[in-house]
Structures are given as C-alpha cells and as structure tokens.
Amino acid sequence: MANDYFNTSGAPSPGSTGSSSVIRAEFAAIVAGFDKLPILAGSGGYFVVVNGGATGLTSTNVITASGADISIGGNLSVSGTLTAAGLEGFLPLTGGTLTGALSGTSAAFSGALSAGTAAFSGAVTSASTARFSSAVYGILGSRQGGAYGGAGPISTSDDLVLENTASAGISLLTPNTASCALRFCDPESNVAGGLTYTHSTDTLSFITNATARASINDIGQFLVNGAVYGSIGARVGGAYGGAGPSTSVNDMVIESNTNAGMSILTPGGFTGQIRFGNPANNAEGGIAYNHSTNTLSLISNAGTVFSSTGVGGSTISGTLTTNALTVNTDTATIGGLEIGYRNVPTLASAGTAAAVAVGRMYINTGNITLPNGVFAAGDVFMVYNNTGGDITLTQGSGLTLRLGGTASTGSRTLALRGLASVVYVASNQAIVTGAGVS
C-alpha cells in the first residue's frame, strides 16, 4: 500500500519469524504516517489542506464550518470561472458570511449571484473589471477612470459604481401590486429621504424628512403635499374638465378640479417676483410685490411702468392705452390730474403759460404770454384775471393769436375779473375767447 503517508517494508510469509528491530521500524513508519495528519485538539470546524511543503495534511482556520455555515477568513482567489450555481453547490451561502475579499483575475458571474442573506463584508475586486452576466460592469470601491472613458466617480460617491461602455441603468423589478423604493438613511432614520414607485397607482413619490412631500401621478400631475396639482408638458383635457393648455404655453401647467393658485411666500421685508427674460435680458418684463412698501409693480423693457400701493395710490410711468377707462371711486389721479370731481385744477399766477397748464386754469395777478411751440393742437387751458384792473394776454413770438369770432389777431386784453379760454389749433396758432376778452 505504497502512498505518501505509509509504505510497508514488505509482507512476511505465513509462519515466518522476524526480528524485533524490523517490527519496531515498521511501527515507526506507521507513527510517521500519523504525524502527517492534522491535530484534532482545538481544530473543530477547521478545513484540512495539504501543507506548504506537500509533506502532509494540516488544519486551517482560513475556512471554517459551523453547522450549515462556512466562513472564509482570508482571500478567495478564482483563476477560472466561478458560477453562482457552482458557488451555491460548494458553499451554503444562505445565512453564510464571506468576511474576506472575493477576487479573481477575470471573475465572471455567468448566472445570478443569489446569496439569500449572505453578507459580503469585504470588497469584490478583480485585476480586470468584474463582470455580472457579461453586460453590466459593477465596481465596489473607488475607481479612477474606467471602461466608459472618463474619470472615476467623486470620492464621496464611490461606494457603488455602475459603469458601462454604452448606456447604463438600474432596474428594480417587482410584481405590479408592490412598490419599488430607494431610501437615504441616517443613524436617526432609516427612511429620511427617498423615492418610491407604487405600481398599483403608477405614482412616483418623493420623500424628505421621512414624509412623502411630492408625487407625480399616472396622468402627469405634480402634487406637493397633496394640495397643488401640476403637470409638466402638453395636456389635452384633464382634471378640471376642459381642454388642455395652448401648445405655446404648456411648459408648466397648474390644474385642479376646484380652485387653483400659485403662492410666492417671502419674509416681510423682501420681494416676491415673476420675471420674463430672453437671452439678452433675463429680467426684461415681470411682476413684483415689495412687502416692505406693499407695492405691486408691473415691469416692461426692464423698467417699472405701473405700481400700486393698494391704498389709493397708483403710478403709471409711460403711456397707458385702453379702449375704455372706468374708475369706480370718487377720485383718481393720472399724470398728476385728478379726475372724477366737477372742478378745474388751478395754477398759480405765471408770466408765461407752460405745458403743465393743459386742462388747468391760471389764477393770474399780472400779464401772461401765450408762447409758440409749447402746446399742441387740441390743448386747452383758461386764464382768470384776479385783479381789479386789466391784464394782457401777450401773443408770443412766432404765434398767431386770434380773437374768437373775429378776424383780429395779436395780443388781447382781459378785463378785471375776466375769464379767458385759450385753445391751440396748432403749435403756432391759438384762439382766445371769453368774458372780458377784447
């Protein structure tokens, strides 16, 4: 029975005799063979391997067994192909723990790696790229550059990296009555943030501070805290019961089956705004509400064209054009003129009429010149002689001043307490008439 453990010196013939030295040598060879076997004491659960010198067997605690569990304390090196079926057939992974590193020159998992509750506390590494089903590249641990041709991930986000030379993705597959979830956890909460897709309602939910704050439902509506409905993109009909928005204004739609609205909330000393911009100016138009002054402003061509305090004061900068203007209050002011009262705004005595006089009345205590080139056709104002004597309405240089109802031109006299109306029919021609005008 020649072998690496014991070789007999020969088989004695029946009835023959031998010396004690030969018998002792035979027993010594048997003892030497037993010495090549591992020691049992203290080696419970250890695996048996051939020693480094190939001179005997020895036990090792790199691989240990306890019941149905096998633990690997060192590195598991694979020079060929390690299949999941082969791995499960060799190691009872369910409930097992691989505490070392799983490495291989070109480790390939051609089947599904199904470990049940097996824990891989070490890194899955490879001299080349570890391949799962020869399609998706997976790397556990930091990488600098890779198969996709760019730099590796940032150091704070490299615990799990999916890399491919083409498109890459992650799929969570469940029955259509279940949900898929991605969670962001901290020591205080195992659901501090995350995403959840509920197949039964086809709803994607966004979680912050352990609460679902927003969601997108199966028809594209965007819900925030279950209150405001919104949809991104074109809609044809919807929850409110009518047609969808115009295709030119459907980038953001707020839709509800009851009242709808949008709120911009800021502290009291700040401003809420909606701006309209283009490549040349990111604030060319807009609406702004200043909480510190309680002023609502309309912005056009990058400037405020209208503002209102909401308590009786409104300002228009520029021209207000409308088909009809209705003021449902006792008074209103446009361009400094009060409208609504049955009176004529008055001006203090002046030596020369100015453009501000249009629609007003001078209460003069002396002569007044009616100028050329200051007023336009249709401009009207009045002059009252607030003295006990005559005053002169002087024809300005270049102006033709006509006396109404006559062919007379030139400067006119306005008698004491007289009232003259001046109407410009052109910038260089005016008519004067009234009580006391001669």
Confidence class of residue 115 from pLDDT cuts 50, 70 and 90? very low
Residue whose tokens read 């980038």: 251
Distance CA 212, CA 206 (A): 6
Both tokens of residue 428?
């260089």
How far apart CA 335 and CA 45 sit, in angstroms, is 100
Mean predicted lDDT score pLDDT of the chain = 77
Mean pLDDT throughout 181-210?
Answer: 93
Q: State the pLDDT confidence band at 72, using cuts at 50, 70 and 90.
A: confident
State how far Cα 213 lies from the chain centre: 14
pLDDT value of residue 144: 40
Higher pLDDT, 155 or 348: 348
Whole-number pLDDT of residue 47: 82
Dump pLDDT digits (tens) for 134-145: 333 344 433 445
Candidate from 211-225, 282-296, 332-346 with smallest mean pLDDT: 332-346
Yes or no: say if 164 and 137 are a contact pair by the CB < 8 Å rule. Answer: yes
Query: Which strand (E) or helix (H) includes residue 46?
Result: strand 46-50
Residue 133 has a pLDDT of: 35
Confidence at residue 427, expressed as pLDDT on a 0 to 100 scale? 96
Mean pLDDT in residue range 188-206: 93
Which ranges of 76-207 does DSSP label H, i.e. alpha helix?
84-90
Q: What is the pTM of this model?
A: 0.33
pLDDT at 114 over 60: no
What whole-number distance in Å separates Cα of residue 211 and Cα of residue 255? 24
Q: State the DSSP code for 177.
A: T
Cα–Cα dist 83/93, whole Å: 13
- Rounded Cα distance between 100 and 427, Å, is 100
Signed CA dihedral, 21, 26, 31, 32: sign only: positive
In the predicted model, what is the mean pLDDT of residues 67-95?
57
Check residue 107 and give its pLDDT: 42
DSSP symbols for 353-384: --GGGTT-EEEESS-EEE-SSSS-TT-EEEEE
| Domain 344-437 bears CATH identifier 2.60.120 | yes
- Give the model's pLDDT for residue 19: 79
pLDDT at 89 over 60: no
Confidence category of residue 83, pLDDT binned at 50, 70, 90: low
Residue 70 · residue 96 · CB < 8 Å: yes
CA angle (344, 346, 352) in 5-degree steps: 125
Phi, psi of 24 (to 5 degrees): -65, -40
Angle subtended at Cα 399 by Cα 393 and Cα 403, rounded to the nearest 5 degrees: 50
What is the spatial distance between Cα 72 and Cα 79, in angstroms, rounded to a whole number? Answer: 17
**C-alpha to C-alpha distances, 320 to 84, 119, 135, 370, 415, nearest whole angstrom:** 79, 75, 67, 29, 40
The answer to whether 46 touches 61, Cβ cutoff 8 Å, is: yes
144-167: burial string, b at 16+ Cβ within 10 Å, e else: eebeeeeeebeeeeeeebebeeee
pLDDT at 343 over 60: yes
Band (pLDDT 50/70/90 cuts) for residue 320 is low
The pLDDT value recorded for residue 206 is 93
Structure-block tokens of residue 139: 């790397």
- 322 pLDDT band, cuts 50/70/90, is low
Region 1-29 average pLDDT: 76
Residue 315: the pLDDT is 66
